[in-house]
A and B are shown apart, each in its own frame.
Chain A
Amino acid sequence: MTDATPLIALRQITKEYFGVPAIKNVDFTVMQGEIHALLGENGAGKSTLTKIIAGVTTPTGGTMAIDGRAVVLRTPSEALHHGVAMVFQETSLVPSMTVAQNLYLGHEKFFNRLRGLYIAAQQFLQSLNFNVDPVAVVGNLGAAQKQMVEIARAVLQKAHVIIFDEPTAALTPEEKRYFFALVRRLKANGVSIVFISHALEEALAIADRITILRDGELVVTDNASAFDRDMIIRAMVGRTLSDQLYHRQGGKARAPHDKVLSVQNLSMGALVRNTSFTIYSGQVTGIFGLIGSGRTETAKIVAGVLKRNFFHGGEVRLRDRAISYLLPRQGVLDGIVYVTEDRKIEGFFEGMSIAENIFAGRLAAKGPKLVSRKDMLELARVWREKLNVRTINANARVIELSGGNQQKVVIAKSLVQQPQLVIFDEPTRGVDVGAIAEIHQIVKDLADQGLAVIVISSYLPEILNLSDRILVARQGRIVEEFSPTEATEEKIMYAAVH
């Protein structure tokens, strides 16, 4: 914060959709060279506020000033003209083009010399200290590198304020560290950063100031040093959720019932290497591992999404019957459901309504031969109530819902298949704290009902809170098992990395 005058100042900003306020009389400022975290539950108004700053939507009331001058931003290009750029959760890069082509997309000259473009891109990326090959095709880059290209494009367009919507949701821990280093470098260059995040530790670690919204209204803005985790959660939800979220209730683990799944010496290339474990009904089995530990791949082999090695690929036994699926549907028919970690790509049909998505789950299992709209809506009503999906009606498209509600729809779509084994892969990734508690309760209820539940998570407090058994994966195999009473974050992490 080098200047007392805010770079951006919003006063009494209100935005209404069909008379319903999404945000109400919000004051918000961004200082030069600061990192400002914007926090709140899903539906709190964070995205609406940032979209107003970035010119994606226009406010219904209130004023906005940039560098002390009142402005009205009607389009993102107008915002960019004033030095404000927004990086959305889904990158807006063209995957089939190179990094350099993406950087200069829309700013090409009449005659373009490709070599010159690459040299300019290389110099520019190096000036930002971004280790990205300008000749690389964007589709081949990892999430963090795509994020870097997005940032580079924003800086290239002379943005003084860059807004990130959940920038770390898709990043691995290593990539997150790299991203934070980038953000700090941008800050050192005088660029202001506004970011929305559901990971409270991130906000506490890197933000200079934190603003918390609740139900479309400003709750508090203060220096990050004035907050701790509990204070943030209290401000976000109006209650202390920390205990509810990440402290084990009752203490004692559920006893195992029957052996449901036995994975024996399973192998798939270099990702899954001779891994073996057993899953019991009536329990939540947590699987922790770092990226590359083969957790997701193992779960996908079990569910029939991926194929094990053709020769000596090991065995998967479901209730003492060897199984090997050509299609995931065969797994669904056997009662195995996999709730994906990447819900937007693999979890739901974004162009379809909530009711259609849930009904699609039933069709994948032993559903009716004929589709009845009445049955579809009734099914959606039952599951919306059961899982507390907050939406206007069942005809709303899933893509329009918040992350938490999207995840609940994906879970509902899986549970209508009446499974006996449910595999949750990162069930609360990109989900707000209120929805986290509800999803955790869904997981626990399933185990209490006698189902076998697997929770794959990279977040240790979540694993510790939910699991009745904790398995640790490393380099493609399960290497350690802990009971909840003996497990600590240190022990689990030690097993995961040594």
Chain B
Amino acid sequence: MDLVRLVLGGLGMIGWLRRHADAFRGRGDSAPTVPPMDGALRPNTLLETARVLLRIDAPDSLVATRDGVLFSSSAGVFRLDPQSGTVASVRRFEHAVTCVASSDEVLAVGLEDGSIRLCRAGHDLPALVTLGGQRLVCPTALAFRDPTTLIVCQGSARNSPNHWKHDLMQRESSGSVWQVSITDGTSRRLAGGLAFPYGAALGNGDVVICESWRHRLLRLSDGSATPVLSDLPGYPARLVAAGDGGFWLSVFAPRSQLIEFVLGETAYRERMMRELAPEHWVAPSLSPALSFLEPMQGGALRSHGILKAWSPTRSYGLLVRLDARLQPIASFHSRADGRHHGVTSCVEIGSQILVSSKGGNAILALPAAAGDTP
């Protein structure tokens, strides 16, 4: 027993030494490195120049239904005609809407207070407020597996959806993914210990989720979570199936060396969180900096009043097309000098794709075939 304790203690000591050596040298987990946007992720301006279908405050959670496209904006859920761009209110709630999913009969809506409302024509089903006996805190994404089974992503067990920056800066990994029966409210945890799961989609019978703070996609099957796409250059948000068997991935903010560095500096982060308003933190952002009080864009370059497209930036617009193996094959960008940042969701309607730019306060429409690499 003593020997086991000694070995474990030794291993712990080696791990501790390695972590500190890595932090000292800036390598391993402490390396402030960021993968490049190249290959299929090569920057372009397709998202920036996309047609603006609708200007509305912080649109989010685009969902295709047989009656049109639903999306959320602050405390309301709206229906959008993808052709004309006309909008109709579907439902308003007392709290901000954080995510939406729809089966043919049920509309599931996650709210900022942590509850999930299940709306059905005629009468509503009881709201989901707990999962596995624990209070629901942070519903970030919903997807119907079948008409009675809902996949729920809980981004964090400690922070509400609106406090996502806190969750990142606290380096939380208390998120989880659940499968819930909406008929009897029973739930089963599919995965736990996740760093802000922010999107879920079904692929080949398995659930594929986005783990934002670890910049990767995971396939959940038979109780195991397998990384299928790692080391993304940004923080992934919602994932939806594409018509050709692939997927569309929204990336709501870019990674940067400065932010990676700050994430490795615990004392700095704690003081920053204690003393500054969140919008002024050195952290990812949904929208481009507009206030002079905001921190410099990590060395953003401005020449003759024009911001260079390749400047280091805290906000960015990125939509990625993945193939059936979940590998990137094309991408749509709004770069540092653009405005269509903070892409949180998208939906494919016929030959076009609608994109919610939460940071740019717009819903965009662009041809799905655009961005194909030659």
Please list the residues of chain A having a beta carbon within 8 angstroms of any beta carbon in chain B.
253, 255-259, 262-265, 276-278, 280, 310-315, 317, 320, 322, 324, 469, 471, 478, 481, 483, 485-486
Report yes or no: B39 in contact with A278, Cβ–Cβ below 8 A: yes
B175-208 interface (Cβ within 8 A of A): none
Report yes or no: A256 in contact with B34, Cβ–Cβ below 8 A: no
Of the candidate stretches B10-18, B22-30, B141-149, B357-365, the one touching chain A is B22-30
On whether A486 and B374 interact (CB within 8 A), knowing A264-B35, A276-B35, A278-B39, the answer reads yes
Report yes or no: B34 in contact with A481, Cβ–Cβ below 8 A: no
Q: How far is the CB of A280 from chain B (nearest CB, A)?
A: 6
Q: How far is the CB of B259 from chain A (nearest CB, A)?
A: 13
Question: Contacting B33 at CB < 8 Å: which of A259, A311, A314, A324?
Answer: A314
Contact of B327 with A by CB under 8 A: yes
Q: How far is the CB of B136 from chain A (nearest CB, A)?
A: 32
User: How far does the alpha carbon of A310 sit from the alpha carbon of B34 in the complex, in Å?
Assistant: 18
Question: Contacting A314 at CB < 8 Å: which of B31, B227, B329?
Answer: B31
Query: Which residues of B are found within 8 Å of A262, using beta-carbon distances?
Result: 35-36, 231
Q: How far is the CB of A33 from chain B (nearest CB, A)?
A: 52
On whether A481 and B31 interact (CB within 8 A), knowing A265-B257, A277-B36, the answer reads no
**A-B contacts, 21 listed (Cβ < 8 Å):** A253-B374, A255-B373, A258-B327, A262-B231, A264-B35, A264-B36, A276-B35, A276-B38, A311-B25, A312-B26, A313-B25, A313-B26, A314-B33, A315-B31, A317-B35, A317-B231, A469-B39, A471-B38, A481-B38, A481-B42, A486-B374
Report yes or no: B31 in contact with A278, Cβ–Cβ below 8 A: no
Q: How far is the CB of A486 from chain B (nearest CB, A)?
A: 7
Q: How far is the CB of B286 from chain A (nearest CB, A)?
A: 24
Query: Which residues of B are found within 8 Å of A258, using beta-carbon distances?
Result: 327
Query: Which residues of B are found within 8 Å of A310, using beta-carbon distances?
Result: 25
Q: How far is the CB of A34 from chain B (nearest CB, A)?
A: 48
14 extra interface residue pairs, beta carbon distance < 8 Å, beyond A253-B374, A259-B327: A255-B329, A264-B35, A276-B34, A276-B38, A277-B36, A311-B24, A312-B26, A312-B32, A313-B27, A315-B33, A317-B231, A324-B27, A478-B36, A481-B38
Q: Which chain A residue shows the least CB distance to B216?
A: A320
Contact of B89 with A by CB under 8 A: no
Q: Which chain B residue shows the least CB distance to A285?
A: B39
User: How far does the alpha carbon of A256 sit from the alpha carbon of B35 in the complex, in Å?
Assistant: 17
Question: Contacting B230 at CB < 8 Å: which of A257, A312, A320?
Answer: A320
Contact of B40 with A by CB under 8 A: yes
Q: How far is the CB of A491 from chain B (nearest CB, A)?
A: 14
Q: Which chain B residue shows the least CB distance to A266?
A: B33
Report yes or no: B33 in contact with A264, Cβ–Cβ below 8 A: yes
Query: Which residues of B are found within 8 Å of A263, using beta-carbon distances?
Result: 36
Q: How far is the CB of A298 from chain B (nearest CB, A)?
A: 13
Q: How many residues on the B side are at the interface (Cβ–Cβ under 8 A)?
A: 23
User: How far does the alpha carbon of A315 sit from the alpha carbon of B34 in the complex, in Å?
Assistant: 9
Please list the residues of chain B having a beta carbon within 8 angstroms of any beta carbon in chain A.
24-28, 31-36, 38-40, 42, 227, 230-231, 257, 327, 329, 373-374
Query: Which residues of B are found within 8 Å of A314, using beta-carbon distances?
Result: 31, 33
On whether A278 and B35 interact (CB within 8 A), knowing A317-B231, A481-B42, A483-B373, the answer reads yes
Query: Which residues of A are found within 8 Å of B327, using beta-carbon distances?
Result: 256-259
On whether A256 and B28 interact (CB within 8 A), knowing A483-B373, A483-B374, the answer reads no
Query: Which residues of B are found within 8 Å of A256, using beta-carbon distances?
Result: 39-40, 327
Query: Which residues of A are found within 8 Å of B257, using beta-carbon distances?
Result: 265
Query: Which residues of A are found within 8 Å of B231, using beta-carbon distances?
Result: 259, 262, 317, 320
Q: How far is the CB of B312 from chain A (nearest CB, A)?
A: 12
Report yes or no: B27 in contact with A315, Cβ–Cβ below 8 A: yes
Q: How far is the CB of B280 from chain A (nearest CB, A)?
A: 26
Question: Contacting B38 at CB < 8 Å: which of A277, A315, A320, A322?
Answer: A277
User: How far does the alpha carbon of A471 sit from the alpha carbon of B42 in the complex, in Å?
Assistant: 11
Q: Which chain A residue shows the least CB distance to B42?
A: A481
Q: How far is the CB of A251 from chain B (nearest CB, A)?
A: 10
User: How far does the alpha carbon of A262 sit from the alpha carbon of B216 in the complex, in Å?
Assistant: 15
Query: Which residues of B are found within 8 Å of A320, using beta-carbon distances?
Result: 227, 230-231
User: How far does the alpha carbon of A360 sit from the alpha carbon of B120 in the complex, in Å?
Assistant: 72
Query: Which residues of A are found within 8 Å of B26, using beta-carbon distances?
Result: 311-313
Q: How far is the CB of A275 from chain B (nearest CB, A)?
A: 9
Query: Which residues of B are found within 8 Å of A483, using beta-carbon distances?
Result: 373-374
User: How far does the alpha carbon of A471 sit from the alpha carbon of B28 in the complex, in Å?
Assistant: 26
Question: Contacting B34 at CB < 8 Å: which of A255, A265, A311, A478?
Answer: A265
User: How far does the alpha carbon of A310 sit from the alpha carbon of B31 in the complex, in Å?
Assistant: 12
User: How far does the alpha carbon of A264 sit from the alpha carbon of B34 in the complex, in Å?
Assistant: 6
On whether A278 and B38 interact (CB within 8 A), knowing A265-B257, A322-B28, the answer reads yes
